Amino acid sequence: MELLAKAGCYDKVNRILSLGLVNKLRREAARLVLKDNGSYADLGAGPGASAKIIREEMGDSTLILVDPSIPMLMISHDNVRDPRIIRLGGRFERLPFKDSSIDGVTAMFSYRDAVDYYEALDEIARVLKPDGRLAILDFYRSTSRILHSIIKLYIIIMVPVALTVSLCPKLLPTYKSFLASLDRMLTDKELVAELEKRFREVEVIKKAPGVAIFYAARPRGKG
């Protein structure tokens, strides 16, 4: 994905794959979390595609972009220049924040790349304040093998088209990890069950086949 970001292709390809809906979905997810001025973290922030949307909704809040890739954070600095934005190196399983210090967390098409999904949720619940909110916008693994296969087939067909239209055809191999992440991702029911273990409020908002916003609020054991 660093190759796509450096080539300026990352967001172009995603817009084509989503049929132009990706930024609308990002905005909807951001609005679920950005209730007040405060401190917010976008995890797996990558080249800053989601940050561009979040900053339009965040008012005087502080946005912290977290990504394990320092080159990605450097690219995000070039793509999104804003004094309200801070960048920190970090991964889902070990977030660079104190307990109960963050008002809201977003993870937009990045959670499925976490190494350990369960530890990642533990960390998010740890750093959120008692009234903190979380929005995960991502693919989930369908329990229907047929639907799962159709989604993968769509990606296999559309990625070469999107890369070609975006003038990035040589970067096709970078999307092999995309398909692998779909196979290992939690199902919608599994993710909801894990969120309910850690949060008092949980809602799943399905947006397209295999894509949903998973909203959670008020971590358990706090307040």
Give percent of the chain with pLDDT exceeding 70: 94
Hey, what CATH class is 21-140+185-219 in? alpha beta
- In sequence order, what are the beta bridge partners of 93? none
pLDDT per residue over 157-213, tens digit each?
A: 888 888 788 777 666 666 778 888 999 999 999 999 999 999 999 999 999 999 999
Domain ranges (residues) in the chain: 21-140+185-219
**Residue 219 scores a pLDDT above 70:** yes
Q: For the chain, what is the mean pLDDT?
A: 92
| Longest Cα–Cα distance in the chain | 52
Distance CA 61, CA 169 (A): 39
Question: How high is the pLDDT of residue 164?
Answer: 83
pLDDT per residue over 32-46, tens digit each?
A: 999 878 999 999 999
**pLDDT interval class at 47 (50, 70, 90):** very high
Distance CA 166, CA 144 (A): 32
Order of strands across the sheet that contains 39-43:
85-89, 62-67, 39-43, 102-108, 128-139, 211-219, 199-208
Distance CA 13, CA 162 (A): 5
| Residue 61 phi, psi dihedral angles, 5° rounding | -70, 170
**pLDDT interval class at 8 (50, 70, 90):** confident
Distance CA 59, CA 213 (A): 22
